[in-house]
Chains A and B, each alone.
Chain A
Amino acid sequence: MRTLLFVLAAWFALPAHAIQVFATVPEWAALAKEIGGDKVNVFAATHGLQDPHHVEARPSLIARARRADLMIATGAELEVGWLPVVLRESGNVRVQPGQPGYFEAADHVRMLDVPARLDRADGDVHAAGNPHIQTDPRNILAVGKALSESLATIDAANAATYRAGFAAFAEKWRTALARWEKDAAPLKGQPVVVQHKSWTYLLDWLGMKEAAALEPKPGVEPSAAHLARLVEQTAASRPKLVLRAAYNNPRPAEWYSAQTRVPVAVLPFTVGGNEAAKDLFGLFDDTVRRLVEPLR
């Protein structure tokens, strides 16, 4: 009994430990690590091969949210199906919306695909716009800056570390950004077909054109008849690539590719989406490489 009390006392008496960060998706977990280094202890609710649209309020998420100091969500309703439950069940005041410990990435970037009308007949539409903002590396920088300020707010003692962490990351990122843009220069103006509207921001960044989406409506699986129609409809625009995320079902893109001989590029989509995408730098190194290579 005495040892138990001692262990408990020691546990409570521990010096201020690392900030507990709960990120809904791997890209924000990776970004928090880049900025916070060993000052943060980061947990990602999903991994790179998981569909971020279909996440459950798993017991482990409630347990992690219970202890989190900072909740990093994408926002724009990406997590609407599970995060509200996790937050309510967690009994953790610090990370409730409106608190300094709740951060939404979509608040800090320019949103695209903002729908003119809201109707579920249009499929899985998001009122605030397309939530897949991480596919544009300029957004990573914008979110990183805001995130470093959030970290500095909730952990004021290490504020300078977070700002310095972001400054160092930003410098490396800008260098990499110039390299990616140079490498991706031949992609400018090229039309592509996408499986899901996951790549709006990527295409916007590289100046590429979305000729069509394989999904008839966002979030709706394409039928064989729909794909057959698409083959005809997209013939005129001569798409150069079919883009799908590593987590997407491969069949629609492969079928379309077999019919049209347009090569498929399987992009990592987020950190951990494939072997090469180990961190944020690897994510875009690999994404650009997979876009450019088939066009050579």
Chain B
Amino acid sequence: MQRNSLWVASFSSLSLALAAPLAQADDLKALREEVAQLKKSYEERIAALEARIAQAESSPQKVSRGATPSGEATFNPAISLVLAGTYTRLSQDPEAYAIDGFVPSGGEVGPPRRSFGLGESELGIAANIDPTLRGQMTLALAPEGGADVEEAYIQTLALGGGATLKAGRFLSGIGYTNGQHAHAWDFADAPLAYKAMLGGQWKNDGVQAKWIAPTDLLVEMGVEAGAGGAFPTTDRNKNGNTVGALFAHVGGDAGDNASWRAGLSVLGTSPRDRQYDDVDSLGNDVTNTFTGKSRTWIADAVWKQDFGFDRKLIVQGEYFRRRESGTLAFDVDGANLADGYRAAQSGYYVQTVYQFMPRWRAGYRYDRLDSGEVSLGGTLNADDLPILAAYKPKRNSLMVDWSSSEFARLRLQFARDESRRDLIDRQLWLQYVVSLGAHGAHRY
């Protein structure tokens, strides 16, 4: 059969070859047309095939990400490390730092020691625990040694309905700056109001429930309950919570290039025998205690404007008002005189930071506190409580920072701090803050 067809083919081609010269012009034309047609049909088929290849190339091709080796290391949590260091020049002794007119808050409120100093190194470890929970820990490693558990909490992932629960030790949701880690602040240290009212930053061991409303405008509400311990609370050694906080925030966009958030929070507690040291009218060291009620209200607002090409403006401010009423016990180790005590104290700061070109930012902050007059029952004399004598501390701060990338920042800050009566502390800070390891996402 094959042989036959071969014969037929060679015979026909032979006859064609022989016939060609003899063929008439018409035949030749027809033949050419036939060849052209054949060529055309092949070209079309090739084009169609090419189109199919192109289509196949553009159609989804599941990329095999399975190449990552599986094993224990795959489940390692995200680890990040923040390193910070300072060089400071202070015109007043940082050891004797105080915010006059206010009960010492016991936190790390003063500037760091003079000359070179290592800031706190923060080690952060975070990962999802299972489909329902996430865990996070931030260890603050102090330069003099020792580690402090800054945060260690679990958080729900799958509650849904806009609700989230947190338990453990965490930065409270009150105010604006409070929820940010120190390394994310726009200035080298906390606003005076935070230092005087909350010992720098409020965190607690407890639980938090937060809910976000199903609206286009952000409406966030939260409630916290905790065991207390740090200023303005005391450890009550009782069942139930000793400190409670409520906060509400609203926020949204204003046009394409601006966003804002505003909020109101309250922190309430009933401290018992909250101690602080003072000097009486004769110059003797005394220890006083307060027992009663303490309510701190915070109103906060922030506005962020984006001008494009890496130029941004942030304006923020927070106002604090604290009322405390109860009993003040004077010189508990000696005279031990008790008297009624009422105080209404307030403070605020406003600050603005402008990123004027890529990597470069400049900022200004104004701090003001008002201690108000303490009202006593009549047993105690105001002269015996010199720290609480009315005073209005204030501070002006200027800063410029430069970031080599989003992971590293070098900051120069000048402050004229009038926290102490009749003393002006001129402070110069040079600070670096860098983060390495896992790329942490930042809060607003």
> A residues bordering B, Cβ < 8 Å?
47, 49-51, 54, 56-60, 62-64, 66-67, 77, 80-85, 88-94, 96, 98, 107-111, 120, 123-124, 128, 138-139, 141-143, 145-146, 174, 177, 219-221, 247-250
- Tell me the residues in window 415-444 of chain B with beta carbons closer than 8 Å to chain A beta carbons: 436, 439, 441-444
Q: Which chain A residues border B65 with CB–CB below 8 Å?
A: 107, 128
Q: In the bound complex, what is the Cα–Cα distance between A143 and B436 (angstroms)?
A: 33
Cβ–Cβ contact A59 & B218, under 8 A: yes
Decide: B259 and A56 in contact? CB cutoff 8 A: yes
Task: Give Cα A98 to B253, complex, Å.
Answer: 29
Indicate if the CB atoms of B436 and A89 lie closer than 8 Å: no
Q: Are A88 and B157 in contact (CB under 8 A)?
A: yes
What are the 9 closest A-B residue pairs judged by CB atoms, nearest first? A59-B251, A138-B58, A59-B218, A63-B218, A93-B160, A91-B162, A58-B259, A85-B441, A84-B441
Q: Which residues of A contact B58 (CB under 8 A)?
A: 138-139, 141-142, 177
* CB pair A91 B407 closer than 8 Å: no
Which chain B residue lies CB-closest to A62?
A: B218
Closest Cβ neighbor of A141 among chain B residues: B58
The reply to whether A63 and B407 form a contact with Cβ atoms under 8 Å apart is no
The answer to whether B444 and A59 have CB atoms under 8 Å apart is yes
B442 proximity list for chain A (CB < 8 A): 56-57, 81-82, 85
List 14 A-B residue pairs with CB atoms under 8 Å apart, sorted by A's residue number: A56-B304, A58-B259, A59-B220, A59-B250, A59-B251, A59-B444, A63-B216, A63-B217, A90-B162, A91-B164, A93-B158, A109-B60, A109-B63, A138-B58
Q: Which residues of A contact B256 (CB under 8 A)?
A: 47
Number of A-B contacts (CB under 8 A): 140
Tell me which of B159, B251, B304, B443 contacts A93 (CB under 8 A). Answer: B159
A22: min CB distance to chain B, Å: 12
Check if B259 sits within 8 Å of A146, measured CB to CB: no
State whether the Cβ of B406 lies closer than 8 Å to any Cβ in chain A. Answer: yes
Task: Tell me what chain A mostly uses at the interface: helix, strand, loop, or mixed.
Answer: loop
B134 in the interface (beta carbon within 8 A): yes
Bound form: Cα–Cα A108–B444 in Å: 31
Residues of chain A within 8 A (CB-CB) of B61 are: 108-110, 142
Q: Are A91 and B163 in contact (CB under 8 A)?
A: yes
Cβ contacts under 8 Å, A139 to chain B: 58
Would you call B57 an interface residue if the criterion is a C-beta within 8 Å of the partner chain's C-beta atoms? yes
A63 with B441: CB separation less than 8 A: no
The segment from B207-215, B236-244, B389-397 that touches chain A is B207-215
Task: Assess whether A110 is in contact with B63, with CB atoms less than 8 Å apart.
Answer: yes
Closest to A86 in B: B441
Q: Is the CB of A60 within 8 A of B407?
A: no
Q: Interface-forming stretch among B137-145, B265-273, B306-314, B344-352?
A: B306-314
What A residues does B131 contact at CB under 8 A?
A: 98
